[in-house]
Structure 1
């Protein structure tokens, strides 16, 4: 009985800690980004963003899809110290070898491509992360569900990095300092990880290892991870190579703001995935479709206004967060805002439909095709429209992704989309968004202050949008209000 209670308590604590970590991951960029974007030059931000993105490819090579594989397989041995130590050491050894390969490829790329000379020093600074990410063995902490350690460590180093940022980043040329601060936060965290890992297993480098057992499944996972990374990062890389640092700096602002908004929405929806997977796995299809239908309706009433608001208020948001010198990012932000709708639907179709149905091969196929498509249209649009072309490429790539995911899950989704509540929900949300557009346009036309205009527009738009949903008797919104009320009542009764 006591063990059960202890387990339930730890699960509850882990859920709270995970939620806290998600919130902090959103809050810290909101604190640091406005400061950095105002202090550093646009070119400096461009060099920082390009170098960080470029090293990300080699971090991917060093990672080799090991984290996903290690978590999946290691969970089987975590109660057996000897087996877990052997398994962890084998995985760690493979990871160290892939890290060495990543460094060799990175150095060769710097020697071969002269276009990288401008970024070489910043790339080398960021490359320190490659080794220490491997030493950090973060997958070990996921296997043992040591979320208390992960969260406390992340909070501590985030606070330290913010303090260092405000103390040492003072002038437009301090992007190298900013890069070092970013790296030091990661390095410090991973050094502690490596030391603390000894409390779980006897971690060591093996000169003889059963690499053949692990390599095939790892490479399959790696192929999917590469496709995703190319798909996500190609716009930044191609923009830097074709246009330059200034353009990457401008586009980076649009992407950062877009990512923050999209992350807020996905954080709300993520909690449903395990339950959907469990229902599908148990063949409880009626309950699965009922939950999927509720999730889709919630997605609709949140994604439509988020996209519309970001589009209409892009200029206000960019100037308030990044400053006047990034005002050109407002157009690319207005364009990329459309991707919110398509990316969230694509996420629902992949993680809530294809994965529970064990259709990973279709997901890999879709990701590879989308990555290739994204690269091709970036090569066409970026020379024509620079960062606005990169934003448009992202939107079109998300459209392709959601289309293919929907196609391979069409037999499952047919039942959900045949429900008239989805169509009514879309109609209600569109009517509400028309009201949002009118409010934002009128406020921006009559108020010169960007901050006051944003505050008034957002406040009035939220009230007006949800009032429209109430007037149109929107069931999804009523259910959302009822769920929130139930949670608040339970908290009051406990207190």
Structure 2
């Protein structure tokens, strides 16, 4: 039996990966946004949003299902190999279906013909995402391998970017580089997966035993992807490529910060699934409470901080021509709380408890709300309308997922210690507002103002939480002293 990997080490490695996901866009995003035209950025993101639906179709709900079921089998190579081969076979079948649907959609919708080259290049990712079997590495909590792999291919993509993307009309080169970076890592994934299990095509099994739970999870993933991608897609149809470029800039920054802030969630999902699957409920409850309190400790100040410095962040990363994205970013940043908490209730409670049908209800409701409001608000207030609908959809899903998981997660919010932690975090957020406001009134140079705001906000926030005896802050300080 393989020894459980350190959750702290996994969190550190995943945080490092998230840091890489932050650093590299800080290098590439300003370069791309300044080199390509706003329309070029819009074309890139529009084509990417179209293909994302078909990557989702190819993936079904397989990744979530595989992590939940595979976490219980990972110490038995024969059992996990049998399971992985069957899941991989289903995934390949859905990939073929996805390509057929993509070609049909391109043929039937004339509006897509102008972007057909970018769409077809992006579509290469459909096959290689399936081949990549990322879920194997999540099951085995191999965050060290994932981090090293990502670092190597990010460096390669940055080098290619600076060589081949040098003019406003080079957006297709950018598409190709994006695809090369992802497909390379997926090929390496497939070859390296032999270390953990033997994956082959296997058509001789009862497909219904796998397809029914997979398709229920898939319904939820479809709904989530709809409200994640429909904003860009609908802006492309209802507005224009310039507005898509503006909105994509705001959501890109939101995504970078959100990924960094919620790094802990990703590493706890397989561990929580394993604990629940093995009936270790006391350990599960202890870890779940720790995760929820830590997420609130990190995400709430992240939201307030990003809101306060959003204009400077836009100007530094994207430039003056994207300043209009400031309002969309200010609105969208609040979606981080809904997204983070919804993910916990869904991935850490409902999915491990095999309540896929509940997540389907919440995600479908949120998607329908998002699409309906997009039709109303995008024609009126463009990218700000899309940002607002995203926030409303995320919070709708959060509240519904909590309601459906309240018997599992509710104890955390009945704990006085949790509410004490929340109150101290809110006091710390007040300190961030004061620091950023003072920084804006004192410093005129934009970069200096941003750096001072961030550093001083972290210091003031930490001091307030230590003075008010926030449990997460005290535990963090204790671990630092031990090192």
> For the superposition of Structure 1 and Structure 2, which TM-score range results when normalised by the shorter chain?
0.7 to 0.9
Could you tell which deviates more after superposition, 135-144 or 125-134?
135-144
Who is 1:485 aligned against?
477
Who is 2:178 aligned against?
182
Per the TM alignment, residue 430 of structure 1 is displaced from its structure 2 partner at its CA by 3.6
Question: For residues 420 and 235 of structure 2, what CA distance do their matches in structure 1 show?
Answer: 40
* Aligned partners of 1:90 and 1:210 also within 8 Å: no
Who is 2:388 aligned against?
392
* Aligned partners of 1:78 and 1:143 also within 8 Å: no
Q: How many residues are matched?
A: 482
Alignment of 1:135-284 (within 5 A): 135-142=131-138, 149-196=145-192, 205=201, 211-271=207-267
Question: For residues 315 and 96 of structure 2, what CA distance do their matches in structure 1 show?
Answer: 43
Taking a change above 3 Å as real, the CA distance of residues 275 and 263 of structure 1, as seen in their structure-2 partners, is: same
Question: For residues 244 and 94 of structure 2, what CA distance do their matches in structure 1 show?
Answer: 29
SS in 1 for 2:169: coil
Match status 1:440 vs 2:436: yes
Who is 1:318 aligned against?
314
Question: For residues 198 and 434 of structure 1, what CA distance do their matches in structure 2 show?
Answer: 51
Question: For residues 339 and 419 of structure 1, what CA distance do their matches in structure 2 show?
Answer: 25
Taking a change above 3 Å as real, the CA distance of residues 129 and 401 of structure 1, as seen in their structure-2 partners, is: same
SS in 2 for 1:465: helix
Q: CA RMSD in A?
A: 3.3
Taking a change above 3 Å as real, the CA distance of residues 464 and 13 of structure 1, as seen in their structure-2 partners, is: closer
Question: For residues 355 and 369 of structure 1, what CA distance do their matches in structure 2 show?
Answer: 18
Who is 2:112 aligned against?
116
Q: TM-score, normalised by structure 2?
A: 0.87
Per the TM alignment, residue 29 of structure 1 is displaced from its structure 2 partner at its CA by 2.1
Question: For residues 13 and 462 of structure 1, what CA distance do their matches in structure 2 show?
Answer: 23
Counterpart of 2:401 (choices 405, 409, 412) is 405
Could you tell which deviates more after superposition, 107-116 or 288-297?
288-297
Counterpart of 1:104 (choices 80, 97, 100) is 100
Per the TM alignment, residue 271 of structure 1 is displaced from its structure 2 partner at its CA by 4.9
Counterpart of 1:456 (choices 452, 455, 471) is 452
Could you tell which deviates more after superposition, 369-378 or 419-428?
419-428
SS in 1 for 2:262: helix
Q: TM-score, normalised by structure 1?
A: 0.85
* Aligned partners of 1:59 and 1:130 also within 8 Å: yes
Question: For residues 110 and 165 of structure 2, what CA distance do their matches in structure 1 show?
Answer: 29
* Aligned partners of 2:217 and 2:360 also within 8 Å: no
